[in-house]
């Protein structure tokens, strides 16, 4: 039987399960949660709402299988995607595309003109996902504050551009 997925808004009670998903999936690439991310995950829904954003989860049989948050970025008119993650078994089914469509609609309704994302360069599947959704890598990288190995690349695109809601035919990249 094919697993049934549900996309729903996160609650503060989802913090522990979301932190476990992120730690598990990002560890496959040698990436870790930052101190700021760990702190935010104590009350993830409130953290995004307080910042003027939203956080959605993908669940399967009640278990957290993915996430994507969106909130205003530092520059006016821009919103930033955060915590993009799908467990390996949930990839390639159009779930990330559906999450991005929702984030795009939220950003547009909030008056944003651009979406951007900073993603650890080691997260090959996350990079590929953003590129499939029309994001273009911008020049430069930034170092994450508490992980000297983490270099985040910047991706951006206009809000409400044509994006694919079709499942990916790409196989997930190998971790590490």
User: Would you list the domain boundaries of the chain?
Assistant: 5-116
Give the pTM. Answer: 0.85
Q: Which CATH number fits domain 5-116: 3.40.50.12780, 3.90.1010.10, 3.30.479.30, 3.40.630.30?
A: 3.40.630.30
Q: How many CB atoms lie within 10 A of CB 58?
A: 24
For residue 119, give the 3-state DSSP assignment.
strand
- Successive 10-residue mean pLDDT values, the chain, 176 residues: 86 96 87 84 96 97 95 95 92 93 95 93 87 92 70 90 50 48
Tell me the C-alpha distance between 20 and 26, whole Å: 10
């Amino acid at each position: 039987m094919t697993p049934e997925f549900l996309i729903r808004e996160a609650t503060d009670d989802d913090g522990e399960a979301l932190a476990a998903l992120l730690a598990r999936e990002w560890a496959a690439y040698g990436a870790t949660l930052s101190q700021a991310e760990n702190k935010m995950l104590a009350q993830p829904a409130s953290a995004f709402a307080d910042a003027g954003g939203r956080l959605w989860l993908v669940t399967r049989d009640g278990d957290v299988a993915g996430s994507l948050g969106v909130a205003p970025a530092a520059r006016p008119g821009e919103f930033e995607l955060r915590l993009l993650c799908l467990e390996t078994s949930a990839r390639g089914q159009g779930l990330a595309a559906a999450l991005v469509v929702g984030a795009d609609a939220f950003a547009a309704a909030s008056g944003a003109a651009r979406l951007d994302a900073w993603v650890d360069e080691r997260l090959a599947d996350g990079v590929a996902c953003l590129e499939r959704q029309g994001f273009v890598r911008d020049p430069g990288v930034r170092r994450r504050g508490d992980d000297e190995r983490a270099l985040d690349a910047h991706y951006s695109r206009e809000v409400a551009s044509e994006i694919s809601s079709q499942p990916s035919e790409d196989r997930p990249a190998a971790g590490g």
